[in-house]
Amino acid sequence: MLLYHFINERFGLDAIPDPRLKIAVVNHLNDPFEFLSLQNESEIVRKNLEDIKNIFSYDRGFISLNTDWHHPLMWSHYAEKHTGLGFEVKENDQLLKVKYQKSRPRLLS
């Protein structure tokens, strides 16, 4: 399967001699509301979600890949000068497809 990674020039060039990719750490993502998207009105719940986000950021991260390179918005947000990398990868259980929703999920109480 061919996957594409929208990446800036520095990290792309670093990956050529050293075949590793930079992992996005949760607290360093472009969107500060990542992992905080549940609908809730409780200050306590928001604080707990922020704590969970910080715990995840300590030792977890992820790499976003796409099966299609025809996404101008993705190129403009995540790549530099419309550059990116393509990878031939074997399908496995560590690759998870993102499921987008039209509305924010509500936290059940």
For residue 68, the Cα-to-chain-centroid distance in whole angstroms is 16
The larger pLDDT score, comparing residue 52 to residue 108, is at: 52
Q: What is the pTM of this model?
A: 0.60
pLDDT band at 108 (very low <50, low <70, confident <90, very high): low
73, with CB counted inside 10 A (0-12, 13-18, 19+), is exposed
pLDDT band at 101 (very low <50, low <70, confident <90, very high): confident
pLDDT at residue 86 in the model = 74
How many CA atoms lie less than 13 Å away from 89 in the CB half-sphere? Answer: 14
User: Could you give the 3-state DSSP secondary structure of residue 52?
Assistant: helix
